[in-house]
Amino acid sequence: MNAGRSNSFANRRRARDRIENQTLSRTLDQKSVPPPSSMLRNWENSPKKLHLNFWKEPYTRLYQNIHISKLPISVTHQDIEMLTQGIYPDNENPINKIFMVYNDYYKPTGSAWVQFNHSRNASLFAKYVNQKTFYGNKLNVELMKYIPEEIQMDPLNYRVGKCIILAGLPRDVTKSYLEEYLIQKSNKRFELADVTREAATISDTSKWLILSNSSEDIYFIFDRIHNKYFDGDNEYKLKARVVR
């Protein structure tokens, strides 16, 4: 008797399962699941994967500063700004400040530091300018965490367009004498700094920085002293250069 009831229940269960399976097969659009290997290949080629691969080391560093080396010796701030063309929108200026590097004789060394307004802009610059040929030189570009303080405080950098390097003066000229000489030439007073290096003793001349808060005053005095003889003496011909 128990066996009969058990068989009867089992038969009813099997019949019900067959009906449910037939119903599911009619109502569901069954699709085959792709193997994991094909899913991986699709992911490798997907836009999401390409987006993740876009920033690779060292461009993932969140640094706003760039160091550029192997620049032409004659490079100017405007030349470095020109390197940003084609990388950013035309109306965007991504650079905060450019610091040129000079040697002990106040001559350019062919390297510069650039501070950008955002780490992303610095990364883009490094990505597209590193190893780029510029006036015959292949540039080296590195993302840097800090700009050395001595570079930032160099008067040739924070007085761009407001500083003259004046060479060819007599070795024994004094600051007060040069100050009066410039006043006679321009009726203006300038800050002065003797930057003659003891190592440069092969010449009997000295080198000075002329500093001002006004670019107009700098170019005014430049026109009156460059390629002119100092103090009416044909022995000392002055050479002036405005730091740009």
Over residues 98-124, the pLDDT tens digits come to 998 887 767 788 999 999 999 999 999
146 shares its domain with 78:
yes
Query: Is 223 within a domain?
Result: yes
Query: Is 10 within a domain?
Result: no
Distance CA 117, CA 86 (A): 17
Query: Is 77 within a domain?
Result: yes
Select from 112, 140, 155 the last residue of a domain. Answer: 155
151 shares its domain with 169:
no
Q: Is the peptide bond before 36 cis (omega within 30 degrees of 0)?
A: no
Candidate from 9-23, 75-89, 118-132, 168-182 with smallest mean pLDDT: 9-23
CB-CB contact of 141 with 129 (8 Å): yes
Give Cα 26 to chain centroid, integer Å. Answer: 64
Q: Which amino acid, one-letter code, is at 211? A: L
User: Does residue 144 carry a pLDDT above 60?
Assistant: yes
Per-residue pLDDT tens digits for 164-220: 889 889 888 999 999 999 999 999 999 898 888 754 555 688 888 898 888 889 999
Distance CA 122, CA 130 (A): 12
124 shares its domain with 180:
no
CB-CB contact of 97 with 115 (8 Å): yes
Query: Is 195 within a domain?
Result: yes
Q: Which amino acid, one-letter code, is at 105? A: Y
167 shares its domain with 143:
no
Query: Is 44 within a domain?
Result: no
164 shares its domain with 196:
yes
Range of the domain at 129: 65-155
HSE of 118, CA atoms in CB hemisphere, 13 A: 7
125 shares its domain with 84:
yes
Candidate from 87-91, 100-104, 128-132, 183-187 with smallest mean pLDDT: 100-104
72 shares its domain with 114:
yes
Q: What are φ and ψ of residue 97, in 5° steps?
A: -155, 145
169 shares its domain with 238:
yes
Select from 155, 185, 213 the last residue of a domain. Answer: 155
- CATH number for the domain harbouring residue 234: 3.30.70.330
Query: Is 17 within a domain?
Result: no
**Structural domain tally of the chain?**
2
Res. 77 pLDDT band, cuts 50 70 90: confident
138 shares its domain with 169:
no
Res. 53 pLDDT band, cuts 50 70 90: very low
Q: What is the CA radius of gyration of the chain?
A: 36
What letter would DSSP give residue 8? H
Query: Is 40 within a domain?
Result: no
pLDDT at residue 59, rounded to an integer = 45
